[in-house]
Amino acid sequence: MTTDTIAAIATAAGRGAIGLLRLSGPQARTIAEKICGSLPPPRQAGLRAFRDADGNVLDRGLVLTFIAPNSYSGEDLVELQAHGGPVLLDLLLQAACYAGARVARPGEFSERAFVNGRLDLAQAEAVADLIDASSREAVTAAQRSLEGEFSRQVRALADELMQIRAWIEGALDFSDEDIDWLADAQLHQRLATWRQALALLQKQTLQGRRLRDGLIVAIAGQPNVGKSSLLNRLAGVDAAIVSEQAGTTRDLLREHLVIDGLPITVIDTAGLRDTQDPIEREGIRRAWNALEKAEAILFVVDDRDGDATADQQLLARLDSQIPRLLIRNKCDLSGAAPQRHETSGAVELRVSAATGAGFDLLRNELRTLAGWNSSAADKQSSFTARTRHVVALDACGQHARLAHQGLERKQAAETIAEELRLAQQQLGEITGAVSTDDLLGTIFSSFCIGK
Ligand code: GDP
């Protein structure tokens, strides 16, 4: 039970037409009354003068009151809509603190909403994801998570798992009887169907995570092969300096783009070569660093050079775990047609950053690399998800697989029941049915203040 009342400026830092001060907690209304005099009836806007502790009028604006439990946080909550001046809002916040509130931590309103059962954990995370959404698709998906679409599916799986566990635990209770409860084909079938449903949710969750986190792609290659031109062509703007002079790109350059709803961060790196120039060497060191962290690498070569030894040597140094595309650029000069070519899993694309030829193939390939499916059906069922959710569902799947194996191998009911209990626990961690203070701290501290 929270006893303190928190206050925060809920609008973004900087100047704006309107700025919002939010109060939540048992004293929210008393504190607001000290600032505004009287309060309007709940959920009705009222125009009031906002005063500091000395009674000076700071501003005049609208006040909205929500009474527990019917508010965002599930507590008494008051919103003061003032003009959006940073100094003015700070003074209002000070007035609230003088009247008994304390400054809220990041995400504390949402944390209280979770503690008071207004939102489950996945929904609370979706609030932050909605604020951070970087594409229209990400907005729709975060909204669906916030509405509880993802949580509902997780809970449905948890409910069915509960039934299966009850069956198996029933076998424990009646283990002296002659009937072999665990041999029932219906039980096996039910667990198999459940695992299929889990696998489907895992797939959707992976897609949801992509929508939230996007794909990080690094462009690498020797100087002058057209890396910066490739970035510019993909981004549709002149982000990077293009020059005939080798060694122009030294710092990492990042561009955020959206391809068919999929957010992608493309990083242009310094051309990889031996050099004595200390600044270029630092650029190349950063380039290798970025290449280690990327989720995909576009390795660019000049199509006229064929398979240059220098390129082969660089390719051999790349982490083989990171998916890569070999981009044969400048096909307008080599005279070859744009094309996709695949040999034993390695994909090569022939393109021209100068003319844009072959870029449809490249965009397609990036979508495939990200495991991105943007079909209409998927859009309708999409929701945002986080790595934490993907990991929990994977762990859940592992426990369920072990339980299923145990069932088939006629292992002791205790062992199977234990695996299923662990599987259920993983599902509970997603919605917050099972949570620790550490987990909550990590999640909510990444929120913005006032949310
Ligand atoms: P980077 O050093 O690898 O980043 O290469 P840049 O993008 O700076 O390009 C080096 C030079 O090649 C510039 O003069 C570009 O205009 C030129 N260039 C890049 N891509 C192409 C292409 O596809 N066709 C042609 N004809 N020129 C290109």
Q: Specify whether 112 is located in the same domain as 258.
A: no
- Ligand 1 midpoint to CA 246 (Å): 10
For residue 300, the ligand 1 atom closest to its alpha carbon is 3
CA–CA gap between residue 225 and residue 203 (Å, rounded): 37
Residue 350, SS3 per DSSP: strand
**Which atom from ligand 1 is nearest to the alpha carbon of 246?**
2
Residue 99 is which amino acid?
Answer: A
Q: For residue 132, is it within any domain?
A: yes
Beta bridge partners of 217: 266, 296
Same domain for 281 and 358? yes
- Same domain flag for 266 and 343: yes
**H-run or E-run covering 132:** helix 121-132
Same domain, 219 and 171: no
Q: Output the CA 214–ligand 1 centroid distance in Å.
A: 27
Residue 378: the pLDDT is: 60
pTM: 0.78
C-alpha count within 13 angstroms, C-beta hemisphere, residue 346: 8
Domain at 90, CATH number: 3.30.1360.120
Pair 113, 188 in one domain: no
pLDDT single digits (tens) 99-138? 999 999 999 999 999 999 999 999 999 999 999 888 888 8
Same domain, 188 and 246: no
Name the residue of 219, 227, 241, 242 to mutate for ligand 1: max ligand atoms within 8 A of Cβ.
Answer: 242
Q: Which atom of ligand 1 is nearest to the CA of 330?
A: 23
CA of 354 to the centre of ligand 1 (A): 7
Asked if residue 189 is part of any domain, the answer here is yes
Residues 365 and 228 in one domain: yes
- Kindly state whether residues 23 and 36 are assigned to the same domain: yes
pLDDT number for residue 116: 95
The whole-number pLDDT of residue 77 equals: 98
CATH number of the domain residue 204 falls in: 1.20.120.430
Q: Note whether 347 and 302 are same-domain residues.
A: yes
pLDDT at 369: 86
253 Cα–ligand 1 center, Å: 16
Choosing from 222, 229, 334 the residue with most ligand 1 atoms within 8 A of its CB, the one to mutate for a pocket test is 229
The answer to whether residues 154 and 273 belong to one domain is no
Which residue's alpha carbon is at the smallest distance from atom 18 of ligand 1? 226
Q: What is the pLDDT of residue 437?
A: 82
Q: What is the span of the domain harbouring residue 139?
A: 127-210+383-432
Q: What are phi and psi of 349, to 5 degrees?
A: -125, 135
Cis peptide before 69 (omega within 30 of 0): yes
pLDDT digits (tens, 9 = 90+) for 396-429: 999 999 999 999 998 888 999 999 999 999 999 9
Token pair recorded at residue 398: 């592992």
pLDDT given for residue 426 in this prediction: 96
CB burial of 120-138 (b: ≥16 within 10 Å; e: otherwise) equals bbbbbbbbbbbeebbbebb
Helix, coil or strand: residue 425: helix
- Which residue, chain included where needed, has tokens 């069915």? 160
* Residue ranges, the chain, pLDDT below 50: 377
Name every protein residue with a CB atom under 6 angstroms from any ligand 1 atom. Answer: 221, 223-229, 242-244, 248-249, 271, 329-330, 332-333, 352-354
